[in-house]
Amino acid sequence: MPARLRRLVPLGWRAAVLLALAAAGYATGQVLAPSALVAGVVAHTVVARLLARDEQETHVENAILVVRSNPAPGREDEYNEWYDGEHVPQMLAVPGFVRARRYVVHGTPDAPPEFRYLAIYEIEGPVDEALAALGAAKVSPSASLDPRVSVTPYVPHTPES
């Protein structure tokens, strides 16, 4: 927010907008019509909502945890039953983890991928706290899970990062 607008914030946006409109009208010798004051109030509302949204996005960290994995050889059905029926509910019970979505490689590529399955867990709130809670949680692996797993947290890219 520009410094000159920040100085007016203690007055409240509505008062700042109305004062600016009144000053503009006074400077030009025109009397402001009620519609100009209404426009000022509408402008105030729009600006306030945009600033509140930006402020909320700045203060709430959102991230994803990307997990790539494979079933143990010959145990794909057991792996999927465990993942969907046990593992995902355990993950969503961890504070900060709010959604999960699983994917499988599409088609039959000529060269098999390193990992056939992908899970994306959405994290809301402080990322470090959610990852610490995950580390402390009793999330149990399955024998149907190949031990080679890739786990990577991602945070939104911003120009400042």
Q: Residue 94 maps to which CATH number?
A: 3.30.70.100
Residue 132 pLDDT greater than 50, yes or no? yes
pLDDT band per the 50, 70, 90 thresholds, residue 48: low
- Regarding whether 141 and 72 lie in a shared domain, the answer is yes
Q: What is the share, in percent, of the chain residues with pLDDT greater than 90?
A: 51
Q: Coil, strand, or helix at residue 46?
A: helix
- Regarding whether 73 and 45 lie in a shared domain, the answer is no
Return the structure tokens found at 80: 């999927």
The total of structural domains in the chain comes to 2
Asked, for residue 144, whether it belongs to a domain, the answer is: yes
Asked, for residue 159, whether it belongs to a domain, the answer is: no
**Average pLDDT of the chain to the nearest whole number:** 78
Asked, for residue 160, whether it belongs to a domain, the answer is: no
Closest CA to 99 of 60, 137, 130: 130
- Regarding whether 73 and 149 lie in a shared domain, the answer is yes
What DSSP state is assigned to residue 59?
H
- Regarding whether 90 and 134 lie in a shared domain, the answer is yes
pLDDT band per the 50, 70, 90 thresholds, residue 58: very low
Q: What is the share, in percent, of the chain residues with pLDDT greater than 70?
A: 60
- Regarding whether 124 and 97 lie in a shared domain, the answer is yes
- Regarding whether 36 and 72 lie in a shared domain, the answer is no
Q: Range of 35's domain?
A: 3-59
Residue 33 pLDDT greater than 80, yes or no? no
- Regarding whether 68 and 42 lie in a shared domain, the answer is no
Check if the beta carbon of residue 160 is closer than 8 Å to that of residue 78: no
Looking at the whole model, is its pTM more than 0.75? no
In terms of Cβ atoms closer than 10 Å to its own Cβ (0-12, 13-18, 19+), residue 54 is exposed
pLDDT band per the 50, 70, 90 thresholds, residue 59: very low
Asked, for residue 142, whether it belongs to a domain, the answer is: yes
pLDDT band per the 50, 70, 90 thresholds, residue 38: very low
What DSSP state is assigned to residue 71?
B
- Regarding whether 134 and 55 lie in a shared domain, the answer is no
- Regarding whether 66 and 19 lie in a shared domain, the answer is no
Check if the beta carbon of residue 153 is closer than 8 Å to that of residue 127: yes
Asked, for residue 16, whether it belongs to a domain, the answer is: yes
- Regarding whether 28 and 98 lie in a shared domain, the answer is no
Residue 47 pLDDT greater than 90, yes or no? no
- Domain's final residue, options 59, 76, 101: 59
Asked, for residue 21, whether it belongs to a domain, the answer is: yes
**Sign of the torsion angle spanned by Cα atoms 66, 72, 73, 77:** negative
Q: Which has the higher per-residue pLDDT, 160 or 115?
A: 115
Instruction: Give pLDDT tens digits for 82-104.
Output: 999 999 999 999 999 999 999 99
What's the pLDDT score for residue 158? 82
